[in-house]
Amino acid sequence: MKSWFPSGNIYVLLLSGGTGSRMKSDIPKQFLELNGKSILLHSLEIFLDWGKTKSIVLVSHKDYILRSETLCSSLLRERDRIVEGGETRHGSTLAGLSSLQFSANDIILIHDAARPFVAADDLDRLSKATEEFGVATLASKNHETVLEEEKDRFKFLNREKIWFMKTPQGIRGDLLKKILEKPYETEPTDLCTWVQGQGIGSKLVESNPYNLKITEKFDLALAEAILPLFQSWNIEKV
């Protein structure tokens, strides 16, 4: 897997449009620091260090474009850019995609900036699956008993079939061109719901165990504890 390279280009949309509402912070969560470095920089460096991207598009809330530029400009390459996002996650995804010129065999990865614990091995396996199957997503298996509440009783779900969705999610250029041309009745919440609404399935690719999304305050404390564990795990994978 370490020697794998795609047949086309790889483009990344790094979604960084949050405003900090759920974090209850004065600044969006992506600008909060994790071990002395902003979460946004941790996530950006994942893809830069991976070294297989043609271009990275950082999609920012309009009120934080200047802050993003100040923070990231020294790392961004000439072919990378920062663009203004939309009112929703899907709107931001569309804004980022509109700035790309991609071909049928290219791979487009969409990632939440609030997930700073993605490994190069994750990206290789995800991209390879995207190239082969057309659409793929990182996800983690469930190891708990899963219950669905039904009035005064529980329904026990088959935990062997339960996965937790993660990002990045990837799509091949030919399929992306097709879904961009088709309308949707309900706005998608992510790439996989978008393609599923068009009758296209997604391949599940098991994520590393530390792929946390930082959403609320306690997540940041958890991320501080996870960081050294992730770094040690990542070194072992290299």
Predicted confidence at residue 212, as pLDDT, reads 96
Could you identify the residue written with the tokens 């996800």?
139
**Which token pair is 2?**
């370490």
pLDDT at 148 over 70: yes
User: For the ranges 133-137, 191-195, 217-221, which has the lowest average pLDDT?
Assistant: 217-221
What is the set of domains in the chain, with CATH numbers? 10-138+164-237 (3.90.550.10)
- This prediction has a pTM of 0.94
Helices 120-133 and 217-237 meet at what angle, rounded to 10?
80
DSSP strand pairing (33-34 vs 10-16): unpaired
Q: What are the φ and ψ backbone dihedral angles of 83, each rounded to 5 degrees?
A: -130, 160
Q: What is the largest CA-CA distance in the chain?
A: 59
pLDDT at 15 over 90: yes
Predicted confidence at residue 5, as pLDDT, reads 84
Answer positive or negative: Cα dihedral of 44, 45, 48, 49: negative
